[in-house]
Structure 1
């Protein structure tokens, strides 16, 4: 373990990527990578945001979003091998991160969270992450952070077809295609994928050392995104995206249940539509969007126990840069929600409405200083929601022709409205729950350096988050019940550094992420829990990534370290403070070769995951994959006129 941290520390001295469109980078600094999060960053000075680079997205395109983030971001995801994965950003719970697709937060309204293993990496062009509270921008649930799923605007003039097929260990298969058709103004983009994993991997049962093959843990997901876009001019357009998803998996059984494993299933179907018109032809720019979401889950093929919701969404927004040093954005968002849950009574909840009003602005009183403010107020049927502001600042401490040193800071309030299950589940739900309320403080340093041979970006962020009225389901008088029981303090330090090095015909990219995140239950009705670490929140998470390119060849290696985690607070003779999951280290690598056949692009790739075949658990008594292999063939047939 010491060697790993020594290796990571050495890489930290070399690492970075320069974010394009940063207002504080001088013109003499070479910028080679566009920051897709620029629209979010404009009104959130001091907030920490990162884009997952295209090379890493390509490596993980056969998997779900959970695998992409756990390999390449300083974030822990609680998961098993059977198709369930929930995120933990900065020590917060799974329902404290919003996942945004256009103007839609795709989190379940009954559970309050997204299964990150069911979000297909293949369908999207970009993945942006916001660390820390962003409720003033994203609304309810963005206490720990936010994820943004992006689709690039291509405005195809001609035709283009991208296709991928991959085969891997344990019955893994991915088949995907993206078809672009357009005339420069009208564009149709069709994205399709099918993923299947038999999950029949071998494992050794920890209780007695016996060996088994995992049974009844199959995953089968499929989906499509259909885009229809029309560009009236370079500053006026209409875009529509329809995302249809069908995710099915067998519920993975405990290792202790083998052999004679029972087979239970979860079937999820989603329809998500977002249509948006935007006009930038005048000083006052405006846009409007309409959305519809249908979510439905069926457990173990029991059609009488459906858990679903339908929602309609409408949003309008106007913005203006009054001067290069001052601009504002104002908007409103409306949602109508109709639950379709077998257990809910219509006497308790028939529908719910909400409306949010927000104002954002930026001000640069000096060339070296930028200030931002965000204000948001949400109104919800029969529920009180707190007013939510945030303030941010960025100040350039040092500027040279090749480098920039920046100091950043951010203060933000956040909140989460209890889910429908929290409030309305029969006998157990509590309609009198208060919203969770958080206050976060962040301070950061960012150093950027750029020359013809090297580009580097190093960020160091410290954060402190105080969340009151934390909601948990705990055993009560008649069963598990939700209550506002805790006050939680999450604090820590994050280091992220990225470097690109160019040596003649070769290029290298090094990346290092490290997070130190002790969390503490500060107040609780159960006094024995006060002072304890939250469950499934490791203090240490680190990732390292290296890719080298030479001509048509590229090779990569990445590694991740996850520290010890508490799985519960129950206590035992072995672990008096609760069940402890051991730390683990995973390493992956791969090789790829680009091909040109009749002026069209092809790529062959081979990847090895868990190269060292390490045994580990992310949840007690759930087996995880050992060493596995994946072979991928991709093609990009480009017939664009503007190729």
Structure 2
């Protein structure tokens, strides 16, 4: 009954807002294509890195590998294809938010997203926003946000892509996607399947990666329809389910298994007026797992959460220089699990955003958000940001923010070990960036500082039981550099992109670098194309990290290379054959202690575009 009342008032509010909007026919391309428009309109002072479809196509194995080789984010992966946790600017996995078409999809159980449960085959682009985002995206948006975008193009088109990939360790990957539309109706639908024995050899040993097999299926369907010249309905859907064995370590074998089942549905109604744009979203998010200590037995532990999201965005263009935006959001979250009971939570948030362009060269934003969370007093959070275009080629970006993270269901209620006395984390940060765009060269340089209090961390107590506590303050500071270069000469195309990050992340009490945070991380991507032929080279350098025992895990260098040929570039149907060699120098490396990653391996892929 409570949910029905909330839906009723939210719809009424939305309709009243539409009623005040002029009905002139207006087309804003970004508004039509993107569900998360505020990423572009309210992030002028933030660093945003866009990975387009050409980058996604070169990294189709896992979402972890895509970001490992194309971003500053460090990943702690328990073996290839296993649980994968990000560290963004030295923050932990639950302080990095994943945003699906404008909705935060971090788990309500552990507060994070396992990046090996996301298949990027059917996304239009992936955007990486550095810095705090709690004002726009809520709890957990401290280190940065990763955005999964589906675009709907309202133009006359119909095209499809089919891929078949075979690789080492009996790895198979199949996908089919279709994108279609006209001026009134648009859609894209994609399905994919991945299966692998994942039984790679541990280099310099007689062992193999046992119990590491996995498979997953993904369905992505998105539709849009103009019901009038100024109103468009869009439906987004994603289903992902996987069956993974959890491989052991060099010294401890495993027989465990894990099954994920996640689906997401969202209906969005957008109204586009001359001065007022309104967007109303209703979303249902479902996450569910089963964990088998011994996959050969029927006993398992389980957990599941259903989340209902009601969200209304209202944008008012006061003038061509000033824009005001309000966001009202209500979430109701219901969980059930063998280890944490049947908790529930309600969250209501109100957000106000101001964007002002006093001159053509200066833009700034002022943003406030207040959450009302059952069981907690959430802090008032804010962000300020500005972009100053000093010259045609050189700009300065600056942002500062207060951010937060509330304890998850696992933190509070897990038995044994949960701590119901936890309080929300609170974080302040500042980021100064410079951007230089000169002809074919693009350079970004950012320096940042983050301080977090009441950090939630699971630690063993005196009896050896792991339990979460609010620890003393941590601080993070460092620099990030990003260089891009493009050169085209007749039929030759050359592109180079490199990223480097230096990160200090310390527990102020112990004055020690936090676990699994490298001081140095760098990657480089070089690609070359000539007519129907293309090739690329990827390199990753990962500095040493400290493990749980305070031992040092050595640095490593890993390289991949790929070559592709388009057999019919001038016809309506293109056949592209690609060969990729991963870890070409057969490097032994671990990004989690005692969990070796794959040796040299091969993938051959055929892509048909029609």
- Provide the TM-score with structure 1 as the length reference: 0.86
Aligned counterpart, 2:15:
none
C-alpha distance in structure 2 between counterparts of 1:303 and 1:241, whole Å: 35
User: How far off its partner does 1:186 sit?
Assistant: 2.8
Aligned counterpart, 2:363:
370
C-alpha distance in structure 2 between counterparts of 1:307 and 1:567, whole Å: 29
Which stretches in structure 1 are left out of the alignment for 5+ residues?
Answer: 1-33, 524-529, 571-577, 638-643
Aligned counterpart, 1:290:
282
User: How far off its partner does 1:212 sit?
Assistant: 1.9
After superposition, give the CA deviation of every residue in 1:100-157 in whole Å (9 maximum; x if it has no partner): 1124322111111111012112121110001111111111000111010011112364
C-alpha distance in structure 1 between counterparts of 2:241 and 2:130, whole Å: 29
Q: Is the 8 A contact 1:103 1:291 kept in 2?
A: no
Aligned counterpart, 2:17:
none
User: How far off its partner does 1:595 sit?
Assistant: 2.7
After superposition, give the CA deviation of every residue in 1:453-496 in whole Å (9 maximum; x if it has no partner): xx221011000000111111111245111110121110000000
C-alpha distance in structure 2 between counterparts of 1:262 and 1:436, whole Å: 34
SS in 1 for 2:169: helix
Aligned counterpart, 2:453:
468
Judging changes above 3 Å, is the alpha-carbon distance between structure 1 residues 426 and 215 closer, same or farther for their aligned structure 2 residues? closer
C-alpha distance in structure 2 between counterparts of 1:103 and 1:393, whole Å: 22
C-alpha distance in structure 2 between counterparts of 1:371 and 1:517, whole Å: 27
Aligned counterpart, 1:274:
266
Which stretches in structure 2 are left out of the alignment for 5+ residues?
Answer: 1-32
1:582 aligns with 2:571: no
C-alpha distance in structure 1 between counterparts of 2:169 and 2:424, whole Å: 43
Aligned counterpart, 1:556:
536
C-alpha distance in structure 1 between counterparts of 2:69 and 2:135, whole Å: 29
Aligned counterpart, 1:334:
330
After superposition, give the CA deviation of every residue in 1:267-287 in whole Å (9 maximum; x if it has no partner): 010111111111113421101
Aligned counterpart, 1:3:
none
Which of 562, 567, 576 in structure 2 is aligned with 1:595?
A: 567
Judging changes above 3 Å, is the alpha-carbon distance between structure 1 residues 584 and 110 closer, same or farther for their aligned structure 2 residues? same
Matches within 5 A, 1:126-525: 126-155=125-154, 157=156, 159-204=158-203, 210-233=205-228, 235-257=230-252, 261-300=253-292, 305-346=301-342, 349=343, 351-399=344-392, 404-450=393-439, 455-478=440-463, 479-523=465-509
SS in 2 for 1:109: coil
Aligned counterpart, 1:605:
578
Aligned counterpart, 2:22:
none
C-alpha distance in structure 1 between counterparts of 2:489 and 2:230, whole Å: 40
Q: Is the 8 A contact 1:284 1:319 kept in 2?
A: yes
Q: Is the 8 A contact 1:37 1:51 kept in 2?
A: no
Q: Is the 8 A contact 1:67 1:117 kept in 2?
A: no
Q: When the two structures are aligned, how many residues end up with a matched partner?
A: 571
User: How far off its partner does 1:188 sit?
Assistant: 4.0
SS in 1 for 2:94: helix
Aligned counterpart, 2:11:
none
After superposition, give the CA deviation of every residue in 1:27-49 in whole Å (9 maximum; x if it has no partner): xxxxxxx9998741321232111
C-alpha distance in structure 2 between counterparts of 1:463 and 1:433, whole Å: 28
SS in 1 for 2:598: coil
User: How far off its partner does 1:427 sit?
Assistant: 4.8
User: How far off its partner does 1:82 sit?
Assistant: 4.2
SS in 1 for 2:454: strand
C-alpha distance in structure 2 between counterparts of 1:37 and 1:594, whole Å: 34
Q: Is the 8 A contact 2:305 2:335 kept in 1?
A: yes
After superposition, give the CA deviation of every residue in 1:289-315 in whole Å (9 maximum; x if it has no partner): 000011111001656621111111110
Q: Is the 8 A contact 1:304 1:342 kept in 2?
A: no
Judging changes above 3 Å, is the alpha-carbon distance between structure 1 residues 312 and 267 closer, same or farther for their aligned structure 2 residues? same
C-alpha distance in structure 1 between counterparts of 2:299 and 2:384, whole Å: 48
Judging changes above 3 Å, is the alpha-carbon distance between structure 1 residues 38 and 262 closer, same or farther for their aligned structure 2 residues? closer
Judging changes above 3 Å, is the alpha-carbon distance between structure 1 residues 587 and 36 closer, same or farther for their aligned structure 2 residues? farther
Judging changes above 3 Å, is the alpha-carbon distance between structure 1 residues 461 and 318 closer, same or farther for their aligned structure 2 residues? same
C-alpha distance in structure 1 between counterparts of 2:176 and 2:507, whole Å: 47
C-alpha distance in structure 2 between counterparts of 1:57 and 1:340, whole Å: 35
SS in 2 for 1:50: strand
Judging changes above 3 Å, is the alpha-carbon distance between structure 1 residues 188 and 51 closer, same or farther for their aligned structure 2 residues? closer
C-alpha distance in structure 2 between counterparts of 1:426 and 1:210, whole Å: 38
After superposition, give the CA deviation of every residue in 1:202-257 in whole Å (9 maximum; x if it has no partner): 113xxxx5312221100101110122221235643111111111011100111224
RMSD: 1.8
After superposition, give the CA deviation of every residue in 1:577-629 in whole Å (9 maximum; x if it has no partner): x1110000011111111232752122111111111110001111112101111
Judging changes above 3 Å, is the alpha-carbon distance between structure 1 residues 304 and 513 closer, same or farther for their aligned structure 2 residues? closer
After superposition, give the CA deviation of every residue in 1:175-205 in whole Å (9 maximum; x if it has no partner): 000123545423343210000111111113x
Aligned counterpart, 1:30:
none
Q: Is the 8 A contact 2:152 2:223 kept in 1?
A: no
- Provide the TM-score with structure 2 as the length reference: 0.90
C-alpha distance in structure 2 between counterparts of 1:199 and 1:415, whole Å: 38
C-alpha distance in structure 2 between counterparts of 1:265 and 1:128, whole Å: 32
Q: Is the 8 A contact 2:384 2:399 kept in 1?
A: yes
Q: Is the 8 A contact 2:34 2:149 kept in 1?
A: no
Judging changes above 3 Å, is the alpha-carbon distance between structure 1 residues 634 and 234 closer, same or farther for their aligned structure 2 residues? farther
Aligned counterpart, 1:77:
75
Q: Is the 8 A contact 2:98 2:113 kept in 1?
A: yes
Aligned counterpart, 2:9:
none
Judging changes above 3 Å, is the alpha-carbon distance between structure 1 residues 172 and 287 closer, same or farther for their aligned structure 2 residues? same
